[in-house]
Chain A
Amino acid sequence: MATMHLPKFEHICPSSIEEAAQLLGRHGADARLTAGGTDLFPRMKQGLTRPEVVISLKGLAIDTPRVSRNGDLHINALMPLADIARSSEVLEKVPMLAEAIVCVGSNQIRHMGTLGGNICLENRCTYYNQSHSFQFVEPCFKRSGDCCYLIPKGKKCVAVFAADTAPALICLDAKVEIIAADGSRQLPVEKLYTGDAIQPLALSQDEIISEVIIANPQAVRGTAFTKFSLRGGVEFAGLTVAVCLEMANGAGTCAAARITAGAVSAGPVRAVKAEKAIAGETLSDKLFQKIAEMAAGEIRPVMHHGYSVPFLRECLKVQTYRTLVMAAKRTGHNREN
């Protein structure tokens, strides 16, 4: 294949994130934001998106992660992933985020890509992300057409959301600060995902994520993140599982839990029934096996990137179990066998 070039566009460097939001509002669907460019530029080279205007956030100043007076951790959304994974505040307060970041792409991609960019990663599918020039004539749902090449009789797009940091942030109950052309708002990361593969993010045209805020943990907790992929490097997730176990005072009892799976559908999914079943229970191997089965029962993965549904279900069960065991070890309580 000939070397791919970027199509022509107008390049604008705003001097603040507020100005960027106004530019987005003015240019509407013709504009795209870029910070690291690791997701946008490959898609532009493949002809999957053709913005007339590219708004670059590269020149904007980036604060280092800071802990506010109430103990919440604030991370600038423009911060490169590699810097976040090395930040002492992050490693101390939310090691699971660093654990998830290390799984993203390659070393170079982590140095370029930002946390905000990873949260807003475009959904992917085996067919959509191929070069289309030699494969298809009819566009699929995701390319504004009316067919699906993955599920030939399918009625909707099933492209998966595969960002690694999102399930971890959802388990950590993180929020995002969103700057719009006419103001700002906060939204839990969980609410950022619509579950619709065509419009995966609940952001309007002029909105930009400026900051990720992770609440100060109120109790002792154990967290873990695991990613399954075939080759183990420079690969989008086949499946990710993030677990956060919050412990009751003193005893080895779990007060509350969060279990989130990624790369299973158009957005990250929480295993709500399994989470409820673990609350109030004493951590044990038997419990983890039960919880893993429940999680695999309630989350319905879609077929993607060559992984079948039965395979992903089994994988979800095994991986949830392993992640629970890892998280439990990190609570500092020995579990019963």
Chain B
Amino acid sequence: MKRLIELSINGETCELAVEPNATLSEVIRDQVGLTGTKVACGTGECGTCTVLIDGRPILSCLTLAVDCQQQAILTVEGLSEGETLTPVQQAFHDCGAIQCGFCTPGMVLSTTALLKANPRPSTTEIQKALEGHLCRCTGYNKILEAVQQAAAAVVPKARQKT
């Protein structure tokens, strides 16, 4: 039986009727219509469905939508403001860390979470944070470069503020 729930997605509250077995990725894509979140394996191996819940990178294909109430869900659509990209998105764009773009929403969100917790990550820390994302195009080097460039772009800005 469907249940009425409220989800906060990208700062907006959505009232939804969902089945208990509906995963967050299914609800975000099919009911809310935000198709930036991709689904490939559906079993937690590829990381394409990653979204941030209260700032944590989680796999939306293995999360029940009914379990996500009263939590702040952030998908890739919630990152940029209009046409202004975030430093992470800009860095992925500049470094050519995108080819087909299927893994990119997840990668960008995991990178956003990483840089918030650790603004100056080492290469090993970046690899560890992104180990749950598969990319079949780029060979990962450009993604690493993009994360490093994003870190370099984020840190001076943070310093300017203080």
Contacts and interface: CB of A to CB of B under 8 A. Distances in A.
Interface of A: 3-11, 13, 34, 37-38, 41-42, 45-46, 54, 56, 58-59, 80, 82, 102, 105-109, 111-112, 233-234
Contact of A234 (B58, B62, B66, B132): B132
Contact of A106 (B20, B23, B47): B47
B1 to A, nearest CB: 9
Given A108-B44, A108-B132, 9 more contacts: A6-B23, A8-B20, A38-B59, A45-B43, A107-B128, A107-B129, A107-B132, A111-B57, A111-B58
Nearest to A111: B56
Contact of B47 (A6, A38, A46, A108): A108
A20 B112 CA distance: 35
B71 to A, nearest CB: 10
A41 B62 contact: yes
Interface of B: 3, 19-23, 26, 39, 42-45, 47, 50, 56-59, 62-64, 66-67, 110, 127-133
B131 A233 contact: yes
A8 B44 CA distance: 20
Nearest to B68: A58
Contacts of A41: 23, 44, 62
21 contacts: A4-B42, A5-B26, A6-B23, A7-B21, A8-B19, A9-B20, A10-B20, A11-B20, A37-B62, A37-B64, A105-B132, A106-B132, A108-B44, A108-B110, A108-B132, A109-B59, A111-B57, A111-B58, A112-B58, A233-B127, A234-B45
Report whether over half of chain A's contact residues are helix, strand or loop; otherwise say mixed: loop
Contacts of A54: 20, 64
B57 A107 contact: yes
Contacts of B59: 38, 108-109, 112
A37 to B, nearest CB: 5
A6 B21 contact: yes
A109 B64 contact: no
A56 B64 contact: yes
A10 B21 CA distance: 8
A112 B63 contact: yes
A80 B130 CA distance: 18
A13 B64 CA distance: 12
B24 to A, nearest CB: 11
A4 B23 CA distance: 11
Shortest 7 CB-CB distances between A and B: which pairs? Answer: A106-B132, A11-B20, A233-B131, A42-B43, A6-B21, A4-B42, A111-B56
A102 B132 CA distance: 12
A105 B129 CA distance: 11
Interface-central residue, A38, A58, A111, by most chain B CB under 10 Å: A111
B131 to A, nearest CB: 4
A8 B47 contact: no
A5 B21 CA distance: 8
Contacts of A107: 57, 110, 128-132
A9 B1 CA distance: 9
A42 B45 CA distance: 10
Given A5-B21, A108-B57, A42 B131 contact: no
A45 B128 contact: no
B43 A108 contact: no
A41 B22 CA distance: 11
Given A3-B42, A4-B42, A106 B131 contact: yes
Given A111-B58, A112-B58, A58 B132 contact: no
